[in-house]
């Protein structure tokens, strides 16, 4: 008859098998999975092989210097990953609810969001939750989803077109919208217009690089209008901060995503172009199946209440 301790050990072994398999599926290598889990490669292989015996199916197969997941393995990973994420987050969530010890919340977002959108949210959150140790990580667009997927952060905030966010291991939650804004110096001829059409841009150099637009359809429309051919083009910028800097210096006009309610730059005039180019969405990125800690859920709610969807 099994003892109580042996039953716990048995369940932990099964959980570790699923965890090893999910890491192998995510990283595409037994060695990489072993490194991420802090165990040996033979241990990972034994755990994955035990699952193959349990389900009577080939889950991984050799491929190049690593391995690849079979169709049956992809199905198991899709089903098991949220379960593993939920179990891994359960202890942390329970501890946060039952104790008064200082909690930690790690959030990843690109530069523009950290600089322009989050300061008011952070001020409100830190006043309401003074015991939460908030850690903000700047990550490039495309790296935020990876940080959430790997467990490096509790919450990601990025464009709803964030590369990698479509992973079956992640889930997106709408946060707030952004307008397409045309920015120009206050003495610019276009600043005197209340309504500006894309055709009006053809006479003035644009400081944006064509490849810097997150929505290719916007760049394609500008290209068809010949906007990128207007000279002199002294700057081809990608990030919002650089575009704003060189527009303020008088080197052209720029298109950025932003919130019109932000604190205005005294040297720059903004005009919404959303009726022509549409809005963009910012999303909260979560690990599917993981239980958000109370601080993470509270921070997410603050974003939605202050910036967007729950106003």
280 has which bridge partners? 178
Q: What is the DSSP string of 37-86?
A: HTS-HHHHHHHHHHHHHHHTS--EEEETTEEEE-HHHHHHHHHHHHHHHH
Q: The tokens of 158 are what?
A: 């990025």
- Closest C-alpha among 151, 196, 197, 159 to residue 176: 159
253 has which bridge partners? 206
Residues of the chain with pLDDT under 50: 1-13, 100
Decide: 37 and 63 in contact? Cβ < 8 Å: no
Task: Enumerate residues 6+ apart whose C-beta is below 8 A from 224.
Answer: none
Q: The tokens of 308 are what?
A: 């967007």
Q: CA–CA separation, 59 vs 36, rounded Å?
A: 20
Could you tell me the CA-to-CA distances from 8 to 2, 179, 278 in Å, in that order?
Answer: 10, 53, 54
pLDDT score recorded for residue 8: 42
The pTM of this model reads 0.69
Decide: 82 and 289 in contact? Cβ < 8 Å: yes
pLDDT score recorded for residue 311: 54
Q: Comparing 101-177+281-307 with 178-278, is the CATH topology the same?
A: yes
Instruction: Say if strands 280-287 and 155-159 run parallel, antiparallel, or are unpaired.
Output: antiparallel
Domain boundaries of the chain, sorted by first residue = 4-94, 101-177+281-307, 178-278
Q: pLDDT tens across 252-286, in order? A: 999 999 987 566 678 899 999 999 999 999 999 99
Cα-flanking dihedrals φ and ψ of residue 172, to 5°?
-105, 140
Q: How large is the C-alpha radius of gyration of the chain?
A: 24
Decide: 160 and 144 in contact? Cβ < 8 Å: no
pLDDT score recorded for residue 275: 94
Q: CA–CA separation, 103 vs 130, rounded Å?
A: 10
Report domain 101-177+281-307's class: alpha beta
**In the chain, which residue ranges form alpha helices assigned H by DSSP?**
4-27, 30-37, 41-55, 71-98, 111-112, 119-128, 144-149, 216-225, 240-248, 274-277, 294-307
Q: pLDDT tens across 81-131, in order? A: 888 887 777 777 766 665 545 688 999 999 999 999 999 999 999 999 998
CATH of 4-94, one of 2.40.160.40, 1.20.810.10, 3.50.50.60, 1.10.10.10: 1.10.10.10
Q: CA–CA separation, 268 vs 247, rounded Å?
A: 8
Dihedral of CA atoms 201, 206, 212, 215 in degrees, nearest 10, equals 0
Tokens 């180019």 sit on residue: 277
Longest dimension (CA), the chain: 86
CB atoms within 10 A of CB 232: 8
Domain 178-278 fold is D-Maltodextrin-Binding Protein; domain 2 (3.40.190)
């Amino acid at each position: 008859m099994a003892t109580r301790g042996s039953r716990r050990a048995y369940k932990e072994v099964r959980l570790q098998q699923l965890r090893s398999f999910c890491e192998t599926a995510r990283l595409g290598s037994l060695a990489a999975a072993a490194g991420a889990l802090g165990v040996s490669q033979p241990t990972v292989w034994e755990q994955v092989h035990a699952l193959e015996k349990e389900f009577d199916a080939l889950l991984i197969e050799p491929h190049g210097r690593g391995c690849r997941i079979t169709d049956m393995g992809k199905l198991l990973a899709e089903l098991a990953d949220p379960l593993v994420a939920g179990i891994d987050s359960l202890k942390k969530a329970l501890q946060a609810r039952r104790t008064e010890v200082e909690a930690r919340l790690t959030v990843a977002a690109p530069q523009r969001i950290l600089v322009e959108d989050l300061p008011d949210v952070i001020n409100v959150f830190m006043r309401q939750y003074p015991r939460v140790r908030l850690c903000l990580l700047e990550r490039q667009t495309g790296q935020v989803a990876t940080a959430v997927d790997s467990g490096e952060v509790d919450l990601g905030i990025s464009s709803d077109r964030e590369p990698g966010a479509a992973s079956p291991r992640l889930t997106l939650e709408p946060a707030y919208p952004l307008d397409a804004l045309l920015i120009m110096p206050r003495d610019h001829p276009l600043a005197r217009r209340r309504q500006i059409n894309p055709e009006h841009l053809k006479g003035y150099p644009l400081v944006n690089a064509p490849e810097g637009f997150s929505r290719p359809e916007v760049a394609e429309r500008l290209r068809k209008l010949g906007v990128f051919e207007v000279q002199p083009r002294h700057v081809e910028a990608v990030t919002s901060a650089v575009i704003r800097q060189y527009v303020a210096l008088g080197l052209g006009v720029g298109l950025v995503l932003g919130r019109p309610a932000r604190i205005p730059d005294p040297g720059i005039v903004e005009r919404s172009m959303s009726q022509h180019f549409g809005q963009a969405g910012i999303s909260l990125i979560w690990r599917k199946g993981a239980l958000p800690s109370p601080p993470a859920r509270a921070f997410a709610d603050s974003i939605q209440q202050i910036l967007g969807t729950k106003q």
